[in-house]
């Protein structure tokens, strides 16, 4: 027996798929799209104001004659101001609308044509119900962000008041990455039951190979959020100044055998590699949170790693396929199938570039370790990095 679709979180009608980041009904999806695209502004006439109940079963009644106010007890679905506010409050994302086609009527007709030509309409509808993997990643990532507030406290352990972000040097950066390694590992186990179920040696292999990729990829996502690529934000909220990399290579203890300027000459071109291979493509595509986290899953479940078992590789391939299918569902909620395929292809093409940027990162770490200059913390080097050549 096919389960009933969950209720729309906006109006309580049966939802029919994933639209603009949330599973809602087609009516609320269309209302949200039109409102955002046309930049409409509404005013609430309810009493009290901005408290109208939004329900799909509301209908006009003789006692309600425009422009008189509609009492909250009526449960008015006709208060557009409250309906739009609820769309936003449940998590519908305005920025996703901009990725859809502007000819919305034409897009809907094309989607109907695709459905009508399908041999199995019921399967099409069922496949649009929910994005279990991506939903889980997004929700657990929110938890990770909250935990980070406590983990990356100031030098005196304070959380409040909030301080301004500051540029950090290489020692401060590695200290953040070391904390994050174990934090991210715990997050992955909550994101993916498949990862949590792997044998310890396979889990460690995947985590080590994945972590530097995640560092580079998340840095690109932070750049998308802040709309700038001249600095690299860290999970702690501080940043690396890529325009003035000598600040990154400043040694507060004065123990390095080479000067910051010499270190810049040898290592700083890596920052350009990160920007060229990952940050700029993500900025160009304006990658959103769902896309960043989908790329995270694709990077983690690498079936081609050395020393990976056949059983683990098989699971990795299956999870990657499921993530890609969910991404197509996500895109089809705002795009034509053709545009959705192109968008998915553009995002997945970032993965090989991510590998190049991460390999450069690892090469710099290995070189600094050999030269004993600006080397990373030994604990981070021994416990958190893949063996050279396994990426």
Instruction: Kindly report the CATH number assigned to the domain that includes residue 176.
Output: 1.10.565.10
Residue 152 in domain: yes
For residues 120 and 139, membership in a common domain is answered with no
Where among 107, 127, 147 does a domain terminate? 127
Mark 187-203 as b/e (b = at least 16 C-beta within 10 Å): bbbbbbebbeebeeebb
Domain identity same for 156 and 100: no
pLDDT at 54: 85
- Collapsing DSSP to helix, strand or coil, 241 comes out as strand
Q: How many domains does the chain have?
A: 2
| Confidence (pTM) | 0.66
| DSSP conformational letter for 375 | P
Token reading at 270: 């890596």
Is residue 55 one of the residues assigned to a domain? yes
Return the pLDDT at 4: 67
391 is a domain residue: no
Q: Are residues 160 and 253 in the same domain?
A: yes
Rg of the chain, C-alpha, whole Å: 24
Q: What is the pLDDT, as a whole number, of residue 335? A: 85
Whether residue 136 sits in one domain with residue 115: no
Inside any domain, residue 222: yes
pLDDT tens-digit profile, the chain (391 residues): 445 677 888 888 888 776 777 778 888 888 998 888 888 888 888 778 888 888 875 433 333 333 333 343 333 456 889 999 998 988 888 877 754 444 434 444 433 333 333 333 333 333 334 688 998 999 999 999 999 988 887 655 555 456 688 999 999 999 999 999 999 999 999 999 999 999 999 999 999 999 999 999 999 999 888 888 888 999 999 999 988 889 999 998 888 999 989 999 988 888 888 889 999 999 998 999 999 999 999 999 999 998 999 999 999 999 999 999 999 988 988 888 889 999 999 999 999 999 999 999 999 999 998 988 988 888 898 888 886 444 4
Same domain, 145 and 291: yes
What is the extent of the structural domain holding 63? Answer: 17-127
Q: Are residues 44 and 178 in the same domain?
A: no
pLDDT at residue 43 in the model:
87
Distance CA 366, CA 378 (A): 12
Neighbour-count burial of 236, counting CB atoms closer than 10 A to its CB (0-12 exposed, 13-18 middle, 19+ buried): buried
- Rounded Cα distance, 155 and 168, in Å: 14
């Amino acid at each position: 027996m096919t389960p009933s679709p969950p209720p729309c979180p906006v109006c309580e009608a049966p939802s029919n798929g994933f639209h603009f980041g949330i599973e809602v009904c087609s009516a609320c999806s269309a209302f949200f799209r039109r409102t955002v695209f046309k930049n409409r502004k509404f005013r609430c006439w309810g009493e009290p104001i901005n408290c109208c109940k939004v329900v799909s079963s509301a209908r006009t009644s003789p006692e309600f004659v425009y422009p008189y106010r509609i009492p909250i007890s009526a449960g008015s679905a006709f208060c557009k101001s409250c309906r739009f506010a609820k769309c936003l409050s449940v998590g519908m994302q305005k920025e996703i609308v901009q990725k859809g086609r502007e000819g919305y009527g034409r897009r809907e007709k094309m989607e109907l044509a695709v459905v009508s030509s399908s041999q199995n309409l019921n399967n099409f509808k069922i496949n649009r119900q929910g994005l279990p993997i991506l939903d889980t990643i997004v929700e657990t990532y929110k938890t990770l962000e909250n935990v980070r507030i406590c983990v990356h406290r100031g030098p005196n352990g304070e959380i409040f008041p909030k301080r301004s972000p500051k540029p950090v040097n290489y020692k401060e950066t590695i200290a953040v990455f070391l904390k994050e390694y174990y934090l991210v590992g715990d997050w992955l186990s909550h994101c993916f039951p498949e990862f949590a179920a792997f044998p310890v040696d396979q889990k460690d292999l995947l985590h080590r190979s994945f972590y530097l990729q995640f560092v580079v990829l998340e840095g690109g996502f932070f750049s998308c959020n802040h709309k700038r690529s001249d600095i690299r934000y860290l999970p702690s909220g501080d940043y690396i100044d890529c325009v003035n990399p000598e600040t990154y290579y400043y040694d507060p203890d004065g123990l390095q055998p080479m000067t910051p300027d010499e270190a810049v000459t040898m290592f700083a071109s890596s920052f350009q590699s990160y920007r060229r291979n990952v940050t700029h493509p993500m900025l160009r595509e304006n990658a959103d949170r769902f896309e960043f986290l989908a790329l995270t899953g694709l990077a983690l479940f690498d079936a081609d790693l050395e020393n990976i078992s056949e059983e683990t590789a098989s699971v990795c391939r299956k999870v990657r396929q499921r993530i890609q299918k969910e991404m197509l569902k996500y895109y089809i909620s705002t795009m034509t199938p053709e545009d959705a395929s192109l968008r998915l292809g553009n995002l997945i093409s970032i993965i090989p570039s991510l590998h190049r940027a991460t390999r450069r990162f690892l090469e710099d770490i290995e070189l600094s370790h050999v030269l004993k200059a600006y080397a990373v913390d030994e604990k981070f080097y021994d416990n958190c990095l893949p063996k050279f050549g396994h990426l």
